[in-house]
A and B are shown apart, each in its own frame.
Chain A
Amino acid sequence: MPSLGADMEDGILVEWLKAQGDTVARGDIIAVVETEKGAIEIEIFEDGKIEELLVPEGRKVPVGSPLAKISGAGEAAVSEIAQQAIPVEAAAPAAPDTTAEIIIIPPSMDKDPDLRASPAARLFAREHEIDLEGIAGTGPAGAIQLRDVEAAKPAPPKRGIDLDAMRHAIAAAMSRSKREIPHYYLTHRINVEAAQNWLENYNRQRPPPERILFGALLVKATALAIRDYPEFNGLYEQGSFRTSQAVHAGIAIAIRGGGLAAPAIQNADRLSLAELMVQMRDLIGRVRRGSFRASELTSSTMTVNSLGDRGVEGVLPIIYPPQVAIIGFGKIIEQPWVVDSQIVLRPIVQMTLAADHRVSDGHRGGLFLNAIAEKLYAPESL
């Protein structure tokens, strides 16, 4: 069970997407896990073959528990095939095989010694950890049959977002951030007229699906600028900071009905604007459906928080641990701006860096914000 968030203690294996014996390659989605942040698809990081699924669907297990046994490519299978519940002779009938494997279920632990349940019901209940007590039997003399246990089996958690659990997770992460991280904040206002004009021109020549939103420019500009400021890109774990060569930009996405998630766009600095936009659209759609991958949730090396059109002038964001920086952008507002000693109206965006003072200082933070601004002044280079 992978850790899919700083405060995750356990997860429910909701669904296996691969079966025993399947061959898997690095990056394949093999299972869906329910966490406080919703149902998340789990990738595999090894090539190989699934020898055994160790955790049945619906089981909650702590972070770190093995979920499946995988043999490496070319490696011979080591584990025995799981016990067959129904030994059936496939060949032409012969004398009964008295050596057939016998399944033993330990003596009943039923509190009610008169509880009647069929073998099929008991086996199913055991496999799915369902308590037979309290299930109304529909068999002869009120015996619990397989169909009764199947009906009593709790429905697997829906793939989607549990907003209460998400609120809990946000509370835990933000409390930890404010408790542990000495934030400092730097704010800078920039004129985005050039960026806006460039974007308008770009979009005018393209059909709606290919158009780019302003937010993508902000992500790209930040991702490019941060390359020169490695003390803002990386993770602070176990008392020390490790900078990251790659720039995986977490983008904070609000969820209708409350809550938010900040999954990553991998290597955001190396994507073209068009590629970045495609990925943002995909990510936003999936986050709102509650379907995102584990690696997307935990691989961010920094976060961009853009309030967008419906937002306000500015935001003082809170760092998402164990990251060390988050850049918040307010919405574009027409404001008085001095150009050539004249006061004119210009589209202005306020950006705020919240950074971890254990790792970086305000001077470098200011340079970093200016670097972002420079990128936005030259939008054609994005």
Chain B
Amino acid sequence: MSRTMTYREAMREAIREAMNADEKVFLMGEDVGHYGGCYAVSKGLLDEFGPDRIRDTPLSESGFTGAGIGAALGGMRPIVEIMTCNFALLALDQIMNTAATMRHMSGGQYHVPVVIRMATGAGRQLAAQHSHSLEGWFAHIPGLRVLAPATVADARAMLARALEDPDPVLIFENALLYNREGDVPDDLAAIDIDHASIRREGSDISLITYGGSLWKCMDAAEELAGIGVSAEVLDLRTLRPLDDAAIMASVAKTRRALIVDEGWRSGSLSAEIMSRIIEQGFWTLDTPPMRLCSAEVPIPYAKHMEEAALPQVSGIVDAARKLVGG
């Protein structure tokens, strides 16, 4: 059995479930309480759980992220919400120099079971300070686990798995997905945070992607099927550590790879994936691997320019056709 809900509702239900399951769990961030969260994920939770557990914070990402890390060190299970990953840069010192290093620097005496949620991605005309996709940067950091739920079911299931992790976990929620509806199975136990998932099977080319770009790839695969190209869509789900085996298995099957990543191209997560394909899957390839990334500009405000800066379905279809040839 399954239920249909939005990505936003799935996230809210996941937080509610975690709060009910463990009194050490609490949520804090900018406007998560009275305002209900800038994307309305936590709407209603303040009334339900009270201000001790749904905590509005000052506009100081470094401060409240650090407080969350401290709480985690003190035995709590905090969920920290950062409005967008652009603002998470203010907390980067806490995330990288403290959360990600504490287990190592304490010789294993301390660990930081904090979960940090943040919105990512463009497409809502929020311009160059609210629209970037920086998950690739965070996926660079040893000591973190980085999740990118793209489906409603993953949004519903991943938080609990993240809270079970004794080390810091970052969850990147593409803001365009919040209104997306999808089915959530009753049994969430089968949904892990270790493996990539083939969302559509195909034989001619692997579209390797995650987060908000998943649905563009799914649409592109549908369009490609109409012109006789069988595209496989691999949803990475977890950006660190990457599921190399799933990537290589898919590429070995299709012998062609197109990576679709809303991050900037240079030094990106897509570059890392491509490197691994070359290192591990070179002899399975029929064409050079290709990438479709965002234009290397600050994400523009104007709608047509913003759209032009992002990977789109038509671009995915064109690139895939070029690779498959014929």
Contacts and interface: CB of A to CB of B under 8 A. Distances in A.
Interface stretch (A136-144, A221-229, A240-248, A315-323): A136-144
B181 interface: no
Nearest to A139: B325
A87 B276 CA distance: 11
B282 A88 contact: no
B73 interface: no
A145 B325 contact: yes
A146 interface: yes
A90 interface: yes
Interface string A95-109: 110101001000000
A145 B287 contact: yes
A120 B241 contact: no
Contact of A100 (B255, B280, B323, B325): B280
Contacts of A87: 248, 280
From B241, B249, B280, name the one whose CB has the most chain A CB atoms within 10 angstroms: B280
B200 to A, nearest CB: 21
Interface string A278-313: 000000000000000000000000000000000000
Nearest to A146: B286
Contact of B255 (A88, A103, A120): A120
A118 B280 contact: no
A90 B287 contact: no
Contacts of B304: none
Contacts of B255: 118, 120, 145-146
Contacts of B259: none
Main secondary structure of the interface of A (DSSP, over half): loop
Contacts of A85: 283-284
A120 B285 contact: yes
Contacts of B276: 96
Interface string A55-87: 000000000000000000000000000000111
B48 interface: no
Interface string B231-263: 000000010011111101100100100000000
A93 B244 contact: yes
Contacts, number: 77
B280 A93 contact: no
A120 B283 contact: yes
A27 interface: no
A123 interface: yes
A340 interface: no
A100 B280 CA distance: 8
B325 A138 contact: yes
From B248, B286, B287, name the one whose CB has the most chain A CB atoms within 10 angstroms: B286
A137 B128 CA distance: 44
A93 B242 contact: yes
A16 B221 CA distance: 39
B279 A88 contact: no
B194 A118 contact: no
A308 to B, nearest CB: 55
A122 B310 CA distance: 36
A138 B326 contact: yes
Contacts of A90: 245
B241 A95 contact: yes
Q: How large is the interface on A (under 10, 10 to 19, 20 to 34, 35 or more residues)?
A: 20 to 34
Contacts of A343: none
B284 A86 contact: yes
B322 interface: yes
A85 B246 CA distance: 16
A93 B245 contact: yes
Interface in B283-326: 283-287, 322-323, 325-326
Contacts of A93: 194-195, 238, 241-246
From A91, A139, A147, name the one whose CB has the most chain B CB atoms within 10 angstroms: A139
B283 A103 contact: yes
B281 interface: yes
A100 B284 CA distance: 15
Interface string A123-143: 100000000000000111001
Nearest to A117: B286
A119 interface: yes
A86 B248 contact: yes
Given A103-B283, A146-B286, A89 B252 contact: no
Given A138-B325, A140-B322, A140-B325, A119 B245 contact: no
A151 interface: no
A96 B244 CA distance: 8
A155 interface: no
B259 to A, nearest CB: 16
Contact of A145 (B244, B280, B282, B286): B286
A146 B242 CA distance: 28
A121 interface: yes
Contacts of B283: 85-86, 103, 119-120, 123
A88 B245 CA distance: 5
A339 interface: no
A119 B285 contact: yes
Contacts of A86: 248, 252, 280-281, 283-284
Nearest to B281: A86
Contacts of B248: 86-89
Given A120-B255, A146-B255, A139 B286 contact: yes
From B238, B245, B322, name the one whose CB has the most chain A CB atoms within 10 angstroms: B245
A373 B284 CA distance: 70
7 contacts: A86-B280, A92-B195, A93-B243, A96-B276, A120-B283, A121-B286, A123-B283
Interface of B: 142, 194-195, 238, 241-246, 248-249, 252, 255, 276, 279-287, 322-323, 325-326
Interface of A: 85-96, 98, 100, 103, 118-121, 123, 138-140, 143, 145-147
Given A118-B286, A118-B287, A138-B325, 20 more contacts: A86-B248, A86-B252, A86-B281, A88-B244, A89-B245, A92-B195, A93-B238, A93-B241, A93-B242, A94-B241, A100-B280, A118-B285, A119-B282, A120-B255, A120-B285, A138-B326, A140-B287, A145-B255, A146-B255, A146-B286
